[in-house]
Amino acid sequence: MRFTRRRFLGTTAAVAGMALAAPSIRAQGAPVKVGVLHSLSGTMAISETTLKDVMLMLIEEQNKKGGIMGRKLEAAVVDPASNWPLFAEKARELISTQKVAATFGCWTSVSRKSVLPVFEELNSILFYPVQYEGEESSKNVFYTGAAPNQQAIPAVDYLMSSEKVQRWVLAGTDYVYPRTTNRILEAYLKLKGVKPEDIMINYTPFGHSDWQTIVRQIKAFGSAGKKTAVVSTINGDANVPFYKELGNQGVAAKDIPVVAFSVGEEELAGIDTKPLVGHLAAWNYFMSVDAPENKDFIKKWQAFIKNPKRVTNDPMEAHVIGFNMWVKAVEKAGTFDAEAVIDAMVGVSVPNLTGGFSTMMPNHHITKPVLIGEIQADGQINTVWQTSGLVVGDEWSDYLEGSKDLISDWRKPMSCGNFNIKTGKCGGKA
Amino acid sequence: MPSPSGGIRPMPELKRLLPRFIAPLLVLAALVLGPAPGALAQSVGDTLAKFATDRFPDTARGVEEIARSGHPTALEIVEALGENRLAYSQADRSVYVIGKDDQVRSAETGAPVADIAPNQLRRVRINNPVRSAIAAALGALRLNSADPVQRRAAAEAIMQAHDADQAPALEAALGREKDARVATAISQALAALRIVDTKQPESVRLAAIDTLAERGDREALVMLRNVPAEAPAAIRQRAERAAAAVERRLSILGGVQNVFFGLSLGSVLLLAAIGLAITFGVMGIINMAHGEMVMLGAYTTFAVQEFLRTSAPGLFDWSLLFALPLAFLVAGGVGIGIERTIIRFLYGRPLETLLATWGVSLALQQAVRTIFGSSNREVGNPAFMTGSFDLFGISLTWSRMWIVVFTIAVFAFLLFVIRYTDYGLRMRAVVQNRAMAGSVGIRTNWIDALTFGLGSGIAGIAGVALSQIDNVSPNLGQGYIIDSFMVVVFGGVGSLWGTLVAALTLGIANKLLEPLAGAVLGKILILVFIILFIQKRPRGLFAQKGRTAES
């Protein structure tokens, strides 16, 4: 079902009318609204528009299967325009005015932090599909993207063991996700015996476009006689000029590999990847994964978007998993009521697109395989290594002072996002 | 899936050698024997089977063995593997080379195989450790190549792989080498091996240190620092002195390179700001949609390249040449459109102009987003703008180099237009005294439109250049608007030369600060400096004097 204005107005009017007339009738056949809270304009539109389209596709498919418990679904799409305070306003609008049963949305951590109080206050559900820095657990948020231990730590392990890296450049954009991830990585590397002088940390502003100096610094740092790698948490648009400069200055992957946590197939679509072959990316899904579920998903996606060249990426898979989990949890709970669905979510298990299953854990994070891939000349990323089993998302890092004592378990009777195992109390760091 | 621990654990005696060299070292150790006389007849079936297991450690070992075997197709196989043209059949695990023309040939015999199409085969996958092995193997296999470029690359590869056993092959190659540049590369590779070779007499090792010190780059520095602590004191001291000298040289070069980086950043700033210097500096219009003109230029480049890709791929390297006039016309046309429909009603009302053009910028962004999609578009670099070149030991990238040249050309063009053309004369007349210009018969409102069009058009061709180094996305312009205003205000409103000096000053200052203070703090320091400067000299570096300054 494509979303037309007439239909939208029609259904809204109908729903409003019925709601006024008799609340009980609503439960019979009126569509259930699903909130889609992704920026369709502004700087983040580049990444988030795709996720909105995925949600429309998933909802359309679910409706073809007859909806959930006989009720059709309807997407309530809003545009928070890459404006963090607007995210909170739009979230409030979705929950209070549009009465959505659940919301799928946000990309940046700052947008998630902005809507978090709204979802907690109005007790609604948010599915967050992007890899993030951890150090958070909310009763109302389900984190379907990777926590640092599902992306960063395995990537570093791979470089250490397979490429024998001894010297590390941690390069990131200057905001909360790279800073926290790099703090975790620095602690982890030191634990593994890497000396402080073998770690170089570098932050750049958002949208940094002149990488000449930094690439030269990386080259100089890499010529100290030890195998060097760059761990990149550089975000968004800054990646294209960074990779172009790497290619132009001749930093080849076999000499100084760069492993990126924010670069996927979508980002690579804007670059000539031939000079980048061999640089790495760590995710929980690649478009190139050879699994029937994935082949099927790519086919449906390209048909839906009417473009046989459109790529898929990791946050899209996260929304697929999140949506299917929500459908299952609603069916398990037998109601769309947020409180009941939140309780039903834990333990729900659905197929992911890499040929396995992902399960929602009590800390509201999911289990995922971790894949390390190398960038190919055609812009795809081919898996070169993957964890033998599934990795459980760890919201409170084991490598940071303070957080390592915390656990999160939203099952009753504990129902706590930051239980301190040292003090035995719910309430965070001692 | 291969496990990451499937690699090789360094033996204790190898531990002081660098782990990055270990994989290629094993390959080279295998290669030193060279092609044995009877090797040609040997079966390579077992070796080839290693390529068909789909495990990276096996593939790396396969590379090492096939290179050692001296098999006639060895070079072809290793090259094909590096270019992702080696494949195997999943049915019987036999290995094939797929030619650049899609012709399938048997890897063992090199004979064409008619009944298998490339898509029936599975390509042998490679990862970085395999790539290192390939580079080392190619180094040894190509040392006797007929092409001097390949021989030189081979010597470099051996130097990086750093394996003493390769010395005899290098010595033999040096003996017959006639090309001076290749001979230098080979003797440097040999020197890198001899420095750590305890069997060599001290005099040879000392000479090797001098050879590397002469090379004087980072690669040489790595080798000089690698002299083991147990080496004789004379060698150690000479190596330390040489390393210190190389380091001094590199740090001086680094300073020079930073200045070039600054020039390059400055010319990007100038390119982005120069159109604004006309619309804001000369006409006094605060045009917030200036960045979007740059973006339109970049998208024009994308459209031109897409068109050439499908209809005339041979002309791709000329795409930027076609894009320049088009971008000028597109951005200039949109500029004139904005001037005629919006700005001309707002002359003398800066705040309203600011808001209106800001609205225009949002509308343009969303329009581009609707037409081209919100994701980045790929703009290719023509061959002459890719890679880097060495100038006295400073490595400069071609794209940046050409942008500097291009910026100078645009600046000169603009000066010429304003100073020597009829239109330029009229424009200056209107700017200096509108009423007087009008009364001598100049159509002032057309001059306004054309001037705004010129400024926008220049922004458009800036977009062509910026598409080479930055994202082509709807947000492209936003990244440049603040910097552009900063440059124009700092340089002095209304002065083209001021804009030039300001852009280069800010570029160089930024790049000199960046290594010391980091990119974030560096940018903040520059901003603070400009704020203080504007407090002291509100009219910028090159303040307009006389009557015109007051208007």
pLDDT tens-digit map of A306-355: 999 899 999 999 999 999 999 999 999 999 999 999 999 999 999 999 99
Q: What is the pLDDT of residue B356?
A: 94
Mean pLDDT of B64-74: 83
Q: What is the pLDDT of residues B283-334, one digit of tens each?
A: 888 899 999 999 999 999 999 999 998 888 888 889 999 999 999 999 999 9
Q: Which residues of B touch A207 (CB under 8 A)?
A: 475, 478-479
How, if at all, do strands A371-375 and A349-351 pair? unpaired
Q: How high does pLDDT run on average in chain A?
A: 89
Q: Which residues of B touch A266 (CB under 8 A)?
A: 375
Distance from CA of B479 to the nearest CA of A (A): 7
Interface of A with B in 50-109 (CB under 8 A): 50
3-state secondary structure of A203: strand
Q: What is the pLDDT of residue B14?
A: 40
Contact A45 B474 (CB under 8 A): yes
Encoding tokens for residue A202? 């570098």
**Chain B residue with the nearest C-alpha to that of A267:** B376
Mean pLDDT of A195-201: 95
Contact B218 A220 (CB under 8 A): yes
Contact B523 A217 (CB under 8 A): no
Is B531 exposed, middle or buried (CB count within 10 Å of its CB: 0-12, 13-18, 19+)?
exposed
A43 interfacial to chain B (CB closer than 8 Å): yes
Q: Which residues of A touch B4 (CB under 8 A)?
A: 157-158, 160-162, 385
> Tokens 């979007």 belong to which residue?
B292
Mean pLDDT of A211-224: 89
Contact between B88 and B52 under an 8 Å Cβ cutoff? The reply is yes
Distance between CA atoms of residues B279 and B452, nearest Å? 6
Q: What is the pLDDT of residues B173-220, one digit of tens each?
A: 888 888 888 888 888 888 888 887 778 888 888 888 888 888 888 888
Q: What is the pLDDT of residue B40?
A: 45
For residue A408, CA distances in Å to A377, A393, A405, A414, B469 come to 42, 11, 10, 9, 45
How, if at all, do strands A73-78 and A32-37 pair? parallel
Q: Which residues of A touch B400 (CB under 8 A)?
A: 212, 248
Contact B374 A49 (CB under 8 A): yes
Contact A213 B515 (CB under 8 A): yes
| Lowest mean pLDDT across A117-126, A139-148, A254-263 | A254-263
pLDDT at B41 over 50: no
Contact B1 A207 (CB under 8 A): no
The 3-class SS string of B327-374 reads HHHHHHHHHHHHHHHCHHHHCCCHHHHHHHHHHHHHHHHHHHHHHHCC
Q: What percent of chain B has pLDDT over 70?
A: 90
Q: How far apart are the first and last CA of chain A?
A: 52
Residue from the list A160, A203, A255 with its beta carbon closest to the beta carbon of B520: A203
Looking at per-residue pLDDT, the higher value among B283 and A184 belongs to A184
* pLDDT-based confidence at residue A17 (cuts at 50, 70, 90): very low
Distance from CA of A430 to the nearest CA of B (A): 33
Closest CA to A46 of A424, A247, A315: A315
Q: What is the pLDDT of residue A9?
A: 53
CB pairs under 8 A between A and B: 180
Mean pLDDT of B70-83: 87
Looking at per-residue pLDDT, the higher value among A207 and B41 belongs to A207
Distance between CA atoms of residues A203 and A215, nearest Å? 13
A205 interfacial to chain B (CB closer than 8 Å): yes
Structure letter (DSSP) for residue A369: -
Contact between A79 and A20 under an 8 Å Cβ cutoff? The reply is no
Distance from CA of A107 to the nearest CA of B (A): 15
Q: Provide the residue type at A194 as one letter.
A: V
Helices vs. strands in chain B: H and E counts, helices first: 21, 6
> Tokens 């992957």 belong to which residue?
A253
Q: Which residues of B touch A237 (CB under 8 A)?
A: 376, 471, 473, 475, 479
pLDDT at B25 over 50: no
Residue from the list A40, A49, A240 with its beta carbon closest to the beta carbon of B470: A240
Contact B129 A224 (CB under 8 A): no
* pLDDT-based confidence at residue B8 (cuts at 50, 70, 90): very low
Mean pLDDT of A255-267: 90
Q: What is the pLDDT of residue B9?
A: 41
Contact A46 B56 (CB under 8 A): no
Mean pLDDT of A248-272: 87
pLDDT at B36 over 50: no
Q: What is the pLDDT of residue A24?
A: 40
Give the number of residues written for chain B: 551
**Chain B residue with the nearest C-alpha to that of A383:** B1
* pLDDT-based confidence at residue B34 (cuts at 50, 70, 90): very low
Distance from CA of B19 to the nearest CA of A (A): 6
* pLDDT-based confidence at residue B91 (cuts at 50, 70, 90): confident
Q: What is the pLDDT of residue B11?
A: 42
Mean pLDDT of A55-83: 94
Distance from CA of A334 to the nearest CA of B (A): 39
Distance between CA atoms of residues B353 and B335, nearest Å? 14
Residue of B126, B159, B374 to mutate, testing the A interface (most A Cβ within 10 Å of its Cβ): B374
Q: What is the pLDDT of residues A400-409, one digit of tens each?
A: 888 888 989 9
Residue from the list A161, A163, A216 with its beta carbon closest to the beta carbon of B257: A216
pLDDT at B269 over 80: yes
| Lowest mean pLDDT across A37-41, A66-70, B259-263, B475-479 | B475-479
Contact B375 A248 (CB under 8 A): no
* pLDDT-based confidence at residue A28 (cuts at 50, 70, 90): low
Q: What is the pLDDT of residue A11?
A: 53
Q: What is the pLDDT of residue B1?
A: 41
Residue from the list A40, A209, A384 with its beta carbon closest to the beta carbon of B470: A209
Q: What is the pLDDT of residue A8?
A: 53
Mean pLDDT of B222-227: 80
Distance from CA of A104 to the nearest CA of B (A): 20
Q: What is the pLDDT of residues A362-396, one digit of tens each?
A: 999 999 999 999 999 888 999 999 988 899 999 99
Q: Which residues of B touch A213 (CB under 8 A)?
A: 258, 261, 511, 514-515, 519
**Chain A residue with the nearest C-alpha to that of B361:** A42
The 3-class SS string of A276-292 reads HCCCEEEECCCCCCCCH
3-state secondary structure of A191: helix
How, if at all, do strands A32-37 and A102-105 pair? parallel
Contact B226 A225 (CB under 8 A): yes
* pLDDT-based confidence at residue A26 (cuts at 50, 70, 90): very low
Q: Rank A22-26, B25-29, B356-360 by mean pLDDT and report only the highest.
A: B356-360
Contact B471 A382 (CB under 8 A): no
Q: What angle do CA B237, B241, B243 make, to 5 degrees?
A: 115
Q: How high does pLDDT run on average in chain B?
A: 84
Q: What is the pLDDT of residue A209?
A: 86
Encoding tokens for residue B13? 């005696």
Contact between B91 and A125 under an 8 Å Cβ cutoff? The reply is no
Distance from CA of B291 to the nearest CA of A (A): 14
**Chain A residue with the nearest C-alpha to that of B7:** A162
Contact A202 B400 (CB under 8 A): no
Contact A254 B475 (CB under 8 A): no
**Chain B residue with the nearest C-alpha to that of A156:** B4
Please count the other Cβ atoms lying within 10 Å of the Cβ belonging to residue B417.
Answer: 15
**Chain B residue with the nearest C-alpha to that of A212:** B261
User: Ramachandran region of residue A310, left (φ > 0), alpha (ψ -120 to 50) or beta?
Assistant: beta
pLDDT at A52 over 60: yes
Interface of A with B in 317-376 (CB under 8 A): 374, 376
Q: What percent of chain A has pLDDT over 90?
A: 67
Residue from the list A213, A220, A223 with its beta carbon closest to the beta carbon of B261: A213
